[in-house]
A and B are shown apart, each in its own frame.
Chain A
Amino acid sequence: MISRQICEAVLRKAVSTGADYAEIFAENTLDHSINMISGKVESINDAVIAGAGIRVYKGLRSVMATTIDTSEAGLMRCAEKAASALGEGKAEIEICLHERLYGDVHPIRIVPATVANADKIAVLKEGVYAAKEYSDEIKQVTGTLLDIDHNILIATSEGIYAEDRQIRTRLIVTAVAEKNGETQTGACRPGRRMGMEMFEHEVSARDTGIHAAKQAVTMAGAGYCPAGVMPVAIGNGFGGVIFHEACGHSLEATSVAYGTSQFAGKLGQQIANPKLTAIDDGTIPNAWGSINIDDEGTPSRKNVLIENGILKTYMIDKFNGRRMGMAPTGSARRQSYAYTTTSRMTNTYIAEGNDDNDEIIASIEYGLFAKEMGGGSVNPATGEFNFAVNEGYLVRNGKICEPVRGASLVGKGSDVIMNIDMIGTNLDLGQGMCGSSSGSIPTNVGQPLIRVSSITVGGR
């Protein structure tokens, strides 16, 4: 993308006023999506995103400048801007870059950019039509097939000169069902760090459509969820959003470094139920949230965040790591060159436990089974979180009963991870887009079926 020699010259300019660290992040991204509505291909988005961000640090100060002009002259101007914002010192470090090849554990067999629109549309239609044909109660179906080919280059004053090519594909089908004048929605959104081969063995477009339609029809016939405090069983896969929100964000250096995390200063302490082990692993082959290297050039790795309830590590980027006095964990991520990198999650999940899945449901006298979760959010400082239940059922006397709609779960992270007192054996991952200060990035959440002994269920 940009030669090693040019990167060296640009980094020299960036550290010319006394920075103790400088970094170039350049990208060239093809972003493509096909959208269907009312049974027809409605629009195609097709964008080239290209630019660079230059960061310099001195002690606990950081400066970032971005540009869309990635010519040598453009990059030099950008570096000069960063250097001059830092102050008026002299160069104190030498720049010498060596190319690093970290390898790629995410093979791509069919690069999406080389597939004709017509072939992508055929896959999309399979999903959309399957949803439409599922039931007469399905009134509308929207579908999106998106692929992204994200090429990044990272060069740092520490000598790193490395590239990565992150290809991802995702199918999204949403269905609207109407029953007795009541409208409800259902959705399914599988994605992988894969090309179009994703649809050969890994993901069925047809099943994606059926899943969305079935959920919409089920919920359209459902009554409102009752409100109150009760035990809740949360389904596997995307149910893991509970850990992502209730705990994961508060373990990011973004909030820990500034003391604004409910878990700051708690390393080595029991913060969760002894049954709970939670992991952030960016190395899972072809998984949606996987990366070979993070956006500061640190190789991704498997980080055990919590082991048997004890806090083992935070997720740390280079800049916030300075304030914390801790090494980076391969967790630095940004949506694009236009955002400032910070520590983020990759594939984050609660590890499998020993509880029998049937016994988890059977243990609940009166409560909720949140089969599928929607998104949520958290205030990392207080740990107060919320998320939506997309498909829920009441549980009475240990049996799953009628579906209920409009439920949400709220609580405090530090309480809820203590209250996760049963953990099942059917670990699965679910795909999401996570939004934070460094933009919107692909992350997996995951867990087996779990039980929260007591949580506030919002309903009516």
Chain B
Amino acid sequence: MDFSTFRNAVVEAAEKQGIAEYELYYQSSESTGIGAFAHEINEFSSSVDGGVCFRCIVDGRMGYASTERLEPAEAADLVARAASNAASLESDDREFLCEGGKTYEPLERTPAPLPATEELVAAALAGQDALYAADPAVIDGSRSSAECAKTEIAIVNSKGLDLHYENSFAVFMSMAVVSDGHEMANDYTIKSGDFAKIDIKAAAGESVSNAKSKLGADVAPTGTSPVVFSPEAMSSLLGTYSGVFSGENARRGLSLLSGKEGEKIASDIVTLVDDPFYKDSMMPINFDAEGSPTHRKNVIENGKLTTLLHNLKTAAAAGIETTGNASKGSYDSPVGIRPFTMYIAPGTTTEEELLKKADGGVLITSLGGLHAGANVVSGDFSLQSSGYMIEGGKKGKAVKSFTVAGNFYTLLQSIAGVSDTVKLPGFGGMTAFGSPSVLVEGLSIAGK
């Protein structure tokens, strides 16, 4: 059964049960993935999933219920569950549904056509050839994969909102495993965008050279030193701490940025942008999870906190307009707050100059265990790292198995340099994080 038929059944059920204010949020995705190992395709997957979240305001409270069974018999139960859940809630916050008739910025980009399965197979196999050809140190265990997905989102509500969004993307991933006979090292590269234009050889080569550079890595020495975070490392740190910019967390005492709007919270050279239409985003979108129009904004401008991120509820509580940052982790999650593409704006320093300024310090290219080693409330972090020593103002010998420790709030204030090129690494969906290389003074390194 499709969404539009199910939608009619739910609307009818809501009316029958006397529910006047409600919203239906539908999300589905279809994906195809191909994996190759030892020059052979060993995995193929084809997935269809999705579901509907129904939420309604009963006596001022917002009840939720979700289902993946889009069957007419399920509609009445869905509505009844949401209404019953609403009756158990106690929060006194005012609840809102987005009004219809808003103006939305047109999406200029049309997604590139999805590759056919045969193209994915060819790419995965070509990836294997490129991996083994790149270097004799490459060993079995090195994998290549290609995946494409189509996502559909629809939001309709009792206030006349009726929005629909479709997006598709394709990615190629190369995971290189290398060995020098004594130890193994691995690294991976992900490329997305127009699938036909992805340079598979270059992607495979990048994963191999990154993995190779980790072989023979030493443990970094313990002490306090300047640290340059690569765009990959800084983006992952920013992603981990992005919740501190949430208006919801601020109101709940879970972000130390509460009430700091207009104040200086970062070094003058820091500007932090949230852009739903960012050029490299895999999923640019012009409405948020409540249906409010989205827009680009500076969250930090030259060190000063301009705004926190809000949805309808938290904005009303703060007495301002929503920033269009309502989000849902999955279709069945409650509405929360998240950025779209959040990135630190580029500076004027080149990468080389940044390393020169950090001579004797550490270049960190990868951080691990962010879900555990970073406390998002206090801002304290102590994280597994790998990277390179900075010797003579240049990238020197590889180092691993050390930690970098500090505090995110303090780190923002101690940023002493920002390079001139922003990268958006990783496999970001609607929410993605980016950064240039960033120099931070005085972080603690624990190694040998």
Contacts and interface: CB of A to CB of B under 8 A. Distances in A.
A408 B51 contact: no
With most chain B CB atoms within 10 A of its CB, the pick from A34, A139, A382, A411 is A382
Interface secondary structure of B, over-half rule: strand
A108 interface: no
B118 to A, nearest CB: 11
Contact of B369 (A142, A382, A387): A387
A154 B139 CA distance: 36
A329 interface: no
A227 interface: yes
A50 B68 contact: yes
B241 interface: no
Nearest to B406: A460
Interface stretch (B81-89, B147-155, B260-268, B339-347): B81-89
Interface string B363-382: 00000110111010110111
Contacts of A405: 378, 380
With most chain B CB atoms within 10 A of its CB, the pick from A44, A225, A228, A405 is A44
B168 interface: no
A184 B378 contact: yes
With most chain A CB atoms within 10 A of its CB, the pick from B332, B368, B448 is B368
Contacts of A140: 252-254
Which range contains the number of B residues in contact with the other chain?
35 or more
A377 interface: yes
With most chain A CB atoms within 10 A of its CB, the pick from B82, B90, B448 is B90
Contacts of A40: 89-92
A114 B256 CA distance: 41
Given A338-B49, A388-B369, A45 B406 contact: no
A176 B403 contact: no
Interface stretch (B58-66, B271-279, B302-310): B58-66
B143 interface: yes
Given A183-B378, A259-B139, A139 B253 contact: yes
A118 B88 contact: yes
B427 interface: no
Nearest to A184: B378
B444 A459 contact: yes
A47 interface: yes
B88 A460 contact: no
Contacts of A412: 401
Nearest to B369: A386
Contacts of B90: 40-42
B383 interface: yes
Interface stretch (B18-26, B34-42, B127-135, B352-360): B34-42
Interface in B401-445: 401-406, 444-445
A68 B50 contact: yes
A29 to B, nearest CB: 9
Interface in A439-460: 456-460
A66 interface: yes
Given A45-B332, A68-B68, A258-B37, A460 B383 contact: no
Contacts of A47: 51, 65-68, 332
A67 B48 contact: yes
A385 B383 CA distance: 11
Interface in A398-412: 405-408, 410-412
23 contacts: A41-B91, A43-B64, A46-B85, A47-B66, A48-B67, A61-B42, A62-B42, A68-B48, A68-B69, A121-B88, A139-B253, A182-B378, A184-B377, A224-B405, A259-B140, A260-B177, A375-B372, A382-B184, A384-B384, A407-B382, A410-B402, A456-B446, A460-B382
Interface of A: 31, 34-35, 37-38, 40-51, 60-69, 81-82, 85-86, 117-118, 121, 139-140, 142, 176, 182-185, 224-225, 227-229, 258-260, 262, 338, 340, 374-377, 379, 381-382, 384-388, 405-408, 410-412, 456-460
